Structure 1
Amino acid sequence: MTHGVICFITRLKNNVCYTVREEENSMTILRLAKLLLFYIIFYACLAAFAALMFKIFLNTLDSNKPKWTLDESLIGTNPGITVRPVLNDNPIEYRAGDSDYMRMWNEKLTEFLEPYLSGTRSENVQNCFHQQYPDSGKVCNVKLTSEFTPCLPPYNFGFDFDNSDKGPCIFLKLNKIFDWVPKYYHKENIPADMPTELAQKIINAELVNQHDKIWVDCRPNNVSDVGNLGDVSYYPQQGFEGKYFPYTNVEGYLSPLVAVHFEKPKRGIPFDIVCKAWAANIQHDRKYNKGLVRFTLHVH
Structure 2
Amino acid sequence: MESKYDKVAYPENAYLHSDSEQEEFGTGVYPGVSIISRKYKHEDTIKIACFKVKRKFSRIAIAGVILALLLLIIAIVIISTSQRKGSEEKEMLHNSNNKAYGLFFQPDVGDNPLINFSPQNKYSMNPYIHNLDFHMHDYNGYSYDKDPYMKCKNGETVPEGKVCVQKIETFGSQCTHLGNYGYLQGRPCVLLTLRLRPDDVPENFPKDSKVGKLLNDTWSPNHIGLKCEGETEDDKKHIGPDRWYAPLHNKDHPTMREKPIQNFPETGFNLTYFPQKNPDKYIAPSVMVQFNTIMTNHVIRIKCVAWVANPVQGENPEESEIYTAKFRLLVT
TM-score in terms of structure 2 length:
0.58
2:108 to 69, 86, 92: 86
1:238 Cα deviation after fit: 3.3
Q: Deviations over 1:38-63 (max 9, x none)?
A: xxxxxxxxxxxxxxxxxxxxxxxxxx
1:103 Cα deviation after fit: 1.9
1:144 to 151, 161, 168: 168
Contact 2:299 2:330 in 1 (8 A): yes
After TM superposition, list the pairs within 5 Å mapping 1:19-168 onto structure 2.
80-90=102-112, 91-120=114-143, 123-145=147-169, 147-160=171-184, 163=185, 166-168=186-188
Q: Secondary structure at the match of 1:229?
A: coil
Corresponding residue number in structure 2 for 1:212: 222
2:261 to 208, 232, 235: 232
Contact 2:308 2:323 in 1 (8 A): no
Q: Secondary structure at the match of 1:267?
A: coil
Distance 1:289 1:271, change over 3 A: same
1:285 Cα deviation after fit: 6.6
Contact 1:217 1:238 in 2 (8 A): no
1:104 Cα deviation after fit: 2.0
Shifted more, 285-294 versus 218-227: the winner is 285-294
Contact 1:235 1:258 in 2 (8 A): yes
Shifted more, 272-281 versus 131-140: the winner is 131-140
Q: Deviations over 1:139-177 (max 9, x none)?
A: 2111211652210111011121xx3xx410000001221
Distance 1:197 1:284, change over 3 A: closer
Letter of the 1:247 counterpart: Q
* Cα distance in 2 for residues equivalent to 1:288 and 1:217: 14
List gaps (5 residues or longer) in structure 2. 1-98, 241-259
1:274 to 281, 303, 306: 303
1:196 Cα deviation after fit: 5.1
Q: Secondary structure at the match of 2:152?
A: coil
Distance 1:288 1:213, change over 3 A: closer
* Cα distance in 1 for residues equivalent to 2:319 and 2:292: 29
Corresponding residue number in structure 2 for 1:69: none
* Cα distance in 1 for residues equivalent to 2:132 and 2:235: 26
* Cα distance in 2 for residues equivalent to 1:184 and 1:287: 17
Q: Deviations over 1:56-92 (max 9, x none)?
A: xxxxxxxxxxxxxxxxxxx99xx52110001122201
Letter of the 1:138 counterpart: K
Q: Secondary structure at the match of 1:234?
A: strand
* Cα distance in 2 for residues equivalent to 1:134 and 1:290: 25
Contact 2:159 2:277 in 1 (8 A): no
Identity %: 24
1:120 Cα deviation after fit: 4.5
Letter of the 1:114 counterpart: H
Shifted more, 102-111 versus 129-138: the winner is 129-138
Contact 2:171 2:288 in 1 (8 A): no
1:129 Cα deviation after fit: 2.5
Distance 1:268 1:196, change over 3 A: farther
Distance 1:258 1:111, change over 3 A: same
TM-score in terms of structure 1 length:
0.63
Contact 1:133 1:140 in 2 (8 A): no
Letter of the 2:109 counterpart: L
**Larger RCO, structures 1/2 (Cα 8 Å, 6+ apart):** 1
Letter of the 1:88 counterpart: G
1:220 Cα deviation after fit: 0.8
